[in-house]
Structures are given as structure tokens and as C-alpha cells.
């Protein structure tokens, strides 16, 4: 079982292999889910629950 830790948006974008602008567009397209988790657009540090959701949805390997 994978454990997830809090990550900054730029770290997760790098793990996904996309630019920060592209990553922000992904978050914008998932606005409802982010709102439900209490994530604001200006928030830089994403909690583990959000990291898990994004890794599973976008198939991001964050096992660095």
C-alpha cells in the first residue's frame, strides 16, 4: 500500500512530467473535487488526501 505525504504543487507537477501551468489547469478542471477537500487555488502545499487523489487520477508515480 502506498503512503502519501503532503507535497507542493511544483513537486507534484515535476513528478507528473508537466509544467506548473499545466498542473494548475488540471487542478482547475478538478475544481469541485479540490473544493470538497478544502484546497484553494492559492494553496501551495497539498495535503496527503489531495496528493493521493491526483496521483490516482493522473497516474502520477510519486515514489521518488
Tell me the C-alpha distance between 27 and 35, whole Å: 10
Which stretch of DSSP H or E encloses residue 46? Answer: strand 45-46
Task: Let me know: does 60 contact 15? Beta carbons within 8 Å.
Answer: yes
pLDDT digits 0-9 by tens, 13-33: 999 999 999 999 999 999 999
Q: What is the mean pLDDT of the chain?
A: 94
The pLDDT, as a whole number, for residue 63 is 73
The pLDDT, as a whole number, for residue 56 is 95
Q: Please, where are the H alpha helices in 1-64?
A: 9-16, 20-29, 31-36, 48-58
Amino acid at each position: 500500500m502506498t503512503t502519501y505525504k503532503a507535497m507542493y504543487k511544483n513537486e507534484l507537477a515535476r513528478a507528473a512530467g508537466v509544467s506548473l501551468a499545466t498542473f494548475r489547469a488540471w487542478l482547475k478542471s478538478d475544481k469541485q473535487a479540490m473544493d470538497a477537500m478544502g484546497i484553494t487555488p492559492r494553496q501551495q502545499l497539498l495535503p496527503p488526501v489531495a496528493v493521493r487523489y491526483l496521483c490516482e487520477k493522473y497516474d502520477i508515480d510519486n515514489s521518488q
